[in-house]
Structure 1
Amino acid sequence: MTSRPPNPSPRPAPSGELRASHDDRETVVEQLRDAAAEGRIDLDELDSRLEQALKSKTHAELAVLTADLPRPDSFASQPPLVLEGGLYGASRGPGRWEVPGRVIAHAGVGGVKVDFTRVECRLTEVAVEAYGETSGVTIVVPDGWAADTSGMDPGIGGLTDKTTPDRLPGTPLLRLTGAGGVGGVTIRHPNRWERRKLHSNPTQD
């Protein structure tokens, strides 16, 4: 009795021809919605691309729909921004600055303030590590941004969260971790004085 030769192993499909999953399609849908919220594509084009995304069966078909849009992970891969309060304090903002995927703030004796009110952030999430230490950390976010503070240790100084849960489309979620220390950590939207300054000079760099 002669044995049959083994069946040849199937060749792996090129990455673009791999079948797309529900999660793959949903990721592209979210990216398209964010692009529309940022004004990169208009509503008619959004509807057209969303329809194609939901019908796409391969990674290649999905890739065509976002080929002319910034990659969400291009900013997430940047080195973290580290702010050290030291003796005299440190701050970032309120001018325009490029937001990486991770921000680390050590208050030290002088304290730290991180102001996101004038930034243009293309990330869906930003990780912020805040350590209140002696003088505290203050984080200011625009209206429409939301924060998840469940991973924060309030410490002696405590955590003060004055943000609203109403997150607008196309805005990032701040995931706040760290420890309040003695000085505490505060995350909030702009106060009255900061709003007045924003309205009087909306294009400040």
Structure 2
Amino acid sequence: MEQLRDAAAEGRIDLDELDSRLEQALKSRTHAELAVLTADLPRPDSPGDRPPLVLKGGVYGASLGPGRWEVPGRVIAHGGMGGAKIDFTRAECRLTEITVEAYGETAGVTVVIPDGWAADTSGTDPGIGGLRDKTTPDRLPGTPLIRLTGSGGMAGVTIRHPNRRERRKLDGNPTRG
């Protein structure tokens, strides 16, 4: 019903068509009957088609994760004066590749990826602060590749797997399925 309302709001179907399809949706008993009502509508954007997620450290810093969040195809992080941290350990990711633009600036950027994920840091300028890649090349099948680009700036950029403290926290709070 939400897809139908969105289609009407975007002008892809008129209001009479919306009413007719909503009425059919309410009478539907199976997923197949519902699928017919939206088959001619474009699918919702995939995470790769979304605008980039921008994280700005500013004066006080900023972090994303380790809670659940859906990963877009591109993430941009500016360390600013307070630093920025992107934690992918509990992120929901349906992509095979994610571009992370990291600009260390004054306080730096830290990117934490789950075990089994891999990183390609060849597109990153280390700047004065440097680039620290503490990941392993052991990429598991079906897991994302993080393409790290940007610049280390004055404080640098670090990409790594969870440290001991983060692992204990993850182990003590398992995901709910």
TM-score, normalised to structure 1's length?
A: 0.63
RMSD between superposed Cα atoms in Å = 1.5
Determine the structure 1 residue equivalent to 2:90: 118
SS at match of 1:194: helix
Question: C-alpha separation between the residues in 2 aligned to 1:119 and 1:90?
Answer: 17
Matches within 5 A, 1:96-175: 96-175=68-147
Question: C-alpha separation between the residues in 2 aligned to 1:192 and 1:82?
Answer: 28
Question: C-alpha separation between the residues in 2 aligned to 1:115 and 1:166?
Answer: 19
Deviations 1:176-202 (CA, angstroms, capped at 9, x unpaired) = 000000110000000000000000001
Matches within 5 A, 1:53-92: 74-92=46-64
- Higher-strand-fraction structure: 2
The runs of 4+ residues in structure 1 deviating greater than 2 Å are none
Gaps of 5+ in 2: 1-42
Q: Using the TM superposition, give the Cα deviation of residue 79 of structure 1 relative to its aligned residue in structure 2, in angstroms.
A: 1.1
Question: C-alpha separation between the residues in 1 aligned to 2:94 and 2:142?
Answer: 8
Q: Using the TM superposition, give the Cα deviation of residue 165 of structure 1 relative to its aligned residue in structure 2, in angstroms.
A: 0.5
Question: C-alpha separation between the residues in 1 aligned to 2:63 and 2:53?
Answer: 11
Deviations 1:68-112 (CA, angstroms, capped at 9, x unpaired) = xxx9x7110011100011101000000000100000000000000
SS at match of 1:139: strand
Determine the structure 1 residue equivalent to 2:6: none
The structure having more radius of gyration, on CA atoms, is: 1
SS at match of 1:83: strand
| % identical aligned pairs | 80
Q: Using the TM superposition, give the Cα deviation of residue 119 of structure 1 relative to its aligned residue in structure 2, in angstroms.
A: 1.2
TM-score, normalised to structure 2's length?
A: 0.73
Determine the structure 1 residue equivalent to 2:149: 177
Question: C-alpha separation between the residues in 1 aligned to 2:123 and 2:91?
Answer: 24
SS at match of 1:164: coil
Determine the structure 2 residue equivalent to 1:187: 159
